[in-house]
Amino acid sequence: MQSVPVFCGKDCGGNACPLIATLENGRVRRVSNNPVGGKYLKGCRRGFDMPLELYAPDRLLKPLLRIGERGSGEFREASWEEALGLTADKLGEIRARFGAPAVLNLASAGSTSALHGTGPLLRRFLNLFGGATMWTGSYSTGAAQFVLPYLLGDQWTAAGFDAATMQYSGMIILWGANVLEARLGTEINQRLVEAKQRGAQIVVIDPRRSQTAKQTATWWLPCRPGTDAALMLAVLHVLLTEDQVDRPFIAAHSVGFDQLERYVLGLDGDEARTPRWAEELCGVQSEEIIRFSRAYAAAKPAMLLPGYSIQRVFAGEESYRLAVTLQIATGNLGQRGGSTGSLNDSLPAPRVGTLPAPRISNQPPLPVVRWPDAVLEGRAGGYPADIHAIYSVGGNYLNQGGDIAKNIAAFKKVDFAVCHELFLTPTARYCDVVLPAAHALEKEDIGLPWTGNFLTYKPQAVPPQGEARCDYDIFCDLAERLGFEPEFSEGRSAAAWVQHFLERSEVPDHDAFRRTGVYLAPDQERVGLADFAVDPARHPLSTPSGRVEIACERYQRETGFPAIPTWQAPPQDPRYPLLLITPKSPHRTHSQGSSLPHIRHRAAHALEMHPTDAATRDLGDGDRARVYNALGATRLPVRLCADLIPGVVCMPEGVWVELGEDGLDTAGAANMLTSTQGTAPGRACIMHGVSVEVSRE
């Protein structure tokens, strides 16, 4: 037996968890926690399941060229020489005829690391190619990333917290943050359980009683999806009317609170945002809102951790504006054991080299949620370029983007599509060339955590299976054919780049890092915006006022939306009275692992419905149902679930679409029902609070 340090590099928020791969006779037998990670740095089954992916019988091990219609799944095996030659010829031809922006960069974070990160690799390649059309924003946190700079300036990227500071919290509010299942950091789960054990109040605000709520919550507030902003405004109303806001802290650290106060209290001529007003919208009883507000005000310090779900809704920008406001109003911003109410992953990892992408001036931007619209409509529809080719690496965009039917049409329209993949995903099925990518266990790299002040390292645990190759080597060969290999590789192999990154890092002992797989930076208890909280005059923000802009005139001027955060009622269609949520599955990372039988059998995919909603539709446990709206439909079994509030149905995202002869999905792919419209003004995805109806199939 041999053990080597590894990490999974998956796109789950715990992407650099320190793990150990145990090998026997040259094969990985199991993956488990690395003891060097100590008590708190722990992985999950996503990483532990890596051997299932590595040795899956349907893993792609040779290049494939399409021979049937796109989407048919008909391919033939090809040599690397033929596949790379065809790819280079097609890309070069499209660049010559239409310009480099005619190629759409569809990179995502299927692999996240210093060298083999799929997003940065494709960006570097295509920028050297001439500058493709590149998406902007984020499926994960698009609305938050759009609005937080208006509140916090450039410092929004340093507004998170280290999980170790949770030990000082009197109350931890998980507002739409299902951390035990969705993973918002390697360390948070263990810290949260410990906080409950020592007596901290754990409040979970979520439309379903998730595993996080069941295992850690001392208080569950079931709030209708898409109405978190209304609940936050009602909490502010209680704090204001009971004189529980920290006026000196508000005055020193923010501007515009007085304008928001007038709105909340109804002094501007509109109705007051009382708990009774909010109860009608969010479903939380007004007495519970008052009780929670008082407990929140009394808890010192209180950490508010907003999940990504509350900004993946209609007007999702408002919930993050108000989360920050609540932490200012209670004096918890920048306090140890408190939080800014911002994204928890916005603190830098330890210094280490990464592979940069050259800058391209005037590169056409494209909100990621709108990529299929850009392909289908092009310049005539107001988009920056006419797209003729798609290059997809590290993402299953056809399945994971809103409106799968539209995504399929976009892939069918382009002249050429290529992807790097481990499996024949729905996206790969619509490509002309599929290049077999190496697995994480087949690549040496350095792990860059989304949260936490540490780094991880992994050697190549095993050689690539079959003819699979790492993305870096694939791009090197394509760059050579297209004439810019020296600029892409800079004369370095993958191993040489890793060594180069270490030489530029803060890691003091490279040998120990390679041996143990873990480097812990000295400060493990960082508090975002702590200096600003202590002395805002000496450490101002980069906003026009130097303070948090609760009322932001620039936001109003540039977006046309109110300067203060407000309640914006989502549109309602009486034909689709149920609200769909599409949470993460704890068994896979988005769509990664969706095809693996062991993972599929671990938790059968189903539509969770409250028994009351099911009964009114003559549906019982196990019955097959049709879930539909104006965009599309899908079919899957029903699972009765009393842990959901009535009026809400739940379908975990990530299951691969499977179209039947009638064109309807038979697998329960959630994005058959979601849109590319996006939030306003951030144009970020809407994946929760989606209006649907359910009927017996």
pLDDT band at 486 (very low <50, low <70, confident <90, very high): very high
What does the DSSP assignment read for 299-312?
Answer: SSSEEEEE-GGGGS
State residue 587 phi and psi, 5-degree precision. Answer: -100, -10
Note the pLDDT of residue 586: 87
**CA gap 270, 68 in Å, rounded:** 61
In a domain, 350, yes or no: no
Q: Are residues 495 and 594 in the same domain?
A: no
Residue type at position 277: W
Which has the higher per-residue pLDDT, 111 or 366? 366
Amino acid code (one letter) for 211: Q
Rounded to the nearest 10°, the torsion over CA 462, 465, 466, 467 is: -80
Average pLDDT estimate for 5-18: 90
Domain assignment present for residue 5? The answer is no
Is 571 a domain residue? no
In this prediction, residue 544 carries a pLDDT of 97
- Which pLDDT does position 589 carry in this prediction? 87
Is cis: bond before 522, omega within 30 of 0?
no
In this structure, the answer to whether residues 289 and 154 fall within a common structural domain is: yes
Asked if the model's pLDDT at residue 267 lies above 80, the reply is yes
Q: What is the pLDDT of residue 359?
A: 84
Tell how many helices (H) and how many strands (E) occur in the chain: 26, 26
Residues 305 and 331 in one domain: yes
Query: Can you tell me the distance from the alpha carbon of 224 to that of 221, in angstroms, rounded to the nearest whole number?
Result: 10
pLDDT in tens, 508-564: 999 999 999 999 999 999 999 999 999 999 999 999 999 999 999 999 999 999 999
304 shares a domain with 156: yes
Q: How confident is the model at residue 502 (pLDDT cuts 50, 70, 90)?
A: very high
**Domain shared by 549 and 404, yes or no:** no
Specify the higher pLDDT residue, 363 or 82.
82
Indicate the pLDDT class of residue 265, thresholds 50, 70 and 90: very high
532, 603: one domain: no
Do 173 and 69 belong together in one domain? no
**Is the residue at 48 inside a domain?**
no
CATH of the domain at 409: 3.40.50.740
Asked if the model's pLDDT at residue 419 lies above 80, the reply is: yes
Can you point out the beta strands (E) in 544-596?
548-549, 578-581
Query: Which residue is associated with the tokens 């920008």?
Result: 317
pLDDT of residue 663: 83
Amino acid letter at 33? N
Annotate 640-695 with three-state secondary structure: ECCCECCCEEECCCCCCCCECCCCCECCCCHHHCCCCCCCCCCCCCCCCCEEEEEE
Q: What is the pLDDT of residue 183?
A: 86
Q: How many domains does the chain have?
A: 3
User: pLDDT at position 34, please?
Assistant: 98
Q: Could you report the per-residue pLDDT of 142-161, keeping only the tens digit for each?
A: 999 999 999 999 999 999 99
182 and 314 inside one domain: yes
Which pLDDT does position 601 carry in this prediction? 83
What's the confidence (pLDDT) of residue 104?
Answer: 97
Q: Residues 611, 537: one domain?
A: no
pLDDT in tens, 649-666: 999 999 999 998 888 899
Asked whether residue 310 falls in the same domain as residue 419, the answer is no
Q: Is residue 8 part of a domain?
A: no
Kindly list the distances between the CA atom of residue 39 and the CA atoms of 189, 191, 675, in Å, as whole numbers in the listed order: 11, 9, 42
Task: Write the single-letter amino acid at 408.
Answer: I
Distances (CA, A) of 247 to 109, 119, 251, 259, 329: 42, 44, 6, 14, 7
SS3 content of the chain, % helix, strand, coil (to 5): 35, 20, 45
Q: Is residue 85 part of a domain?
A: yes
Is the Cα dihedral 344, 348, 353, 354 positive or negative?
A: positive
**Do 63 and 76 form a contact (C-beta atoms < 8 A)?**
no
Q: pLDDT-derived band of residue 468, with 50, 70 and 90 as boundaries?
A: very high
> The domain containing residue 372 runs over which residues?
64-139+367-455+465-507
Q: What are the structure tokens assigned to 344, written together? A: 């928890």
* Sign of the CA dihedral running 108, 113, 117, 119: positive
The percentage of residues in the chain with a pLDDT greater than 70, rounded to a whole number, is 100
CATH code, domain with 674: 2.40.40.20
Q: Residue 109: pLDDT band by 50, 70, 90 thresholds?
A: confident
Q: Are residues 613 and 691 in the same domain?
A: yes
- pLDDT band, very low/low/confident/very high, at 593 (cuts 50, 70, 90): confident
110: pLDDT strictly greater than 80:
no
The predicted structure's pLDDT at residue 345:
82
Q: What is the mean pLDDT of the chain?
A: 96
User: Is 32 within the bounds of a domain?
Assistant: no
Within 10 A of 202 (CB to CB), how many other CB atoms are there? 21
Q: Is the peptide bond before 301 cis (omega within 30 degrees of 0)?
A: yes
Q: Are 191 and 451 in contact (CB under 8 A)?
A: no
Residue 50 lies in a domain: no
pLDDT in tens, 286-299: 999 999 999 999 99
pLDDT value, residue 163? 96
Residue 635: pLDDT band with limits 50, 70, 90: very high
How does pLDDT run across 341-388, given as a tens digit for each residue? 999 888 999 999 999 888 887 777 799 999 999 999 999 999 999 999
Local structure of residue 141 (DSSP, 8 states)? T
Q: What percent of the chain has pLDDT over 90?
A: 91
Does 634 score more than 80 pLDDT? yes
Residue 540 shares a structural domain with residue 672? no
DSSP string, 476-520: HHHHHHHT-HHHHHTT--HHHHHHHHHHTSS-S-HHHHHHHSEEE
